[in-house]
């Protein structure tokens, strides 16, 4: 009976030692476990945010004539679409993000964790613009819905569509 406190102390010490070893071993199993920046989008710091990475070109067309070209970054996977332009602190003037979906459907976006105001351009399966939400509010959790089914969505800096006379009915090409 007198050995119970000693046994309890040894078991407790063993648990502490095993927990410490597990904490030390985790980085070898998962190198990003202790690295906070690895949990941020694109493994970039919160201060600078992710940066734009050109992956292609997109043209806006009016009546078959080229109106404006922008550099685009694709968001073609579920993970990339969910992240979108969140955590970005800037976007080049002639750049945007193109969200690509497998099929046309009503789309709803929001601006949570998005630091820059945007114009959101909803585009149907035929690549014709079906609706535009202009000058969205950063950090808003308000639903911003397309007015018709969209297979593609283009996000650009707020004011872009007004400055370049981009309207519903215009077409995109990429």
pLDDT tens, the chain, 174 aa long? 566 666 766 765 666 555 555 555 555 454 444 443 334 444 444 456 789 999 999 999 999 999 999 999 999 999 999 999 999 999 999 999 999 999 999 999 999 999 999 999 999 999 999 999 999 999 999 999 999 999 999 999 999 999 999 999 999 999
CATH number at residue 167: 2.60.120.1140
User: Does 162 lie in the same domain as 123?
Assistant: yes
User: Does 110 lie in the same domain as 90?
Assistant: yes
User: Does 69 lie in the same domain as 13?
Assistant: no
Whether 40 maps to a domain, the answer reads no
Give 97's contacts (C-beta < 8 A, 6+ positions apart).
72, 73, 74, 75, 84, 85, 154, 155
Give 168's contacts (C-beta < 8 A, 6+ positions apart).
129, 130, 131, 132
User: Does 55 lie in the same domain as 8?
Assistant: no
d(CA 138, CA 120): 12
Whether 39 maps to a domain, the answer reads no
Q: What is the domain extent for residue 13?
A: 4-34
């Amino acid at each position: 009976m007198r050995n119970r406190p000693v046994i309890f102390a040894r078991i407790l010490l063993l648990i502490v030692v095993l927990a410490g070893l597990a904490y030390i071993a985790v980085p070898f199993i998962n190198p990003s476990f202790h690295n906070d920046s690895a949990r941020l989008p694109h493994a970039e710091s919160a201060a600078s945010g992710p940066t734009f990475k050109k992956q292609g070109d997109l043209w806006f067309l009016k009546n078959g004539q080229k109106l404006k070209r922008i550099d685009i970054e694709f968001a073609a996977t579920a993970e990339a679409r969910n992240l979108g332009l969140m955590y970005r602190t800037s976007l080049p003037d002639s750049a945007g993000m193109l969200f690509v979906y497998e099929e046309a459907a009503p789309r709803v976006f929001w601006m949570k964790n998005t630091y820059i105001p945007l114009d959101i351009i909803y585009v149907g399966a035929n690549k014709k613009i079906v609706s535009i939400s202009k000058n969205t509010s950063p950090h808003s959790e308000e639903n911003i819905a397309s007015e018709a089914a969209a297979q593609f969505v283009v996000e650009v800096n707020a004011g872009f569509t007004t400055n370049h006379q981009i309207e519903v009915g215009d077409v995109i090409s990429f």
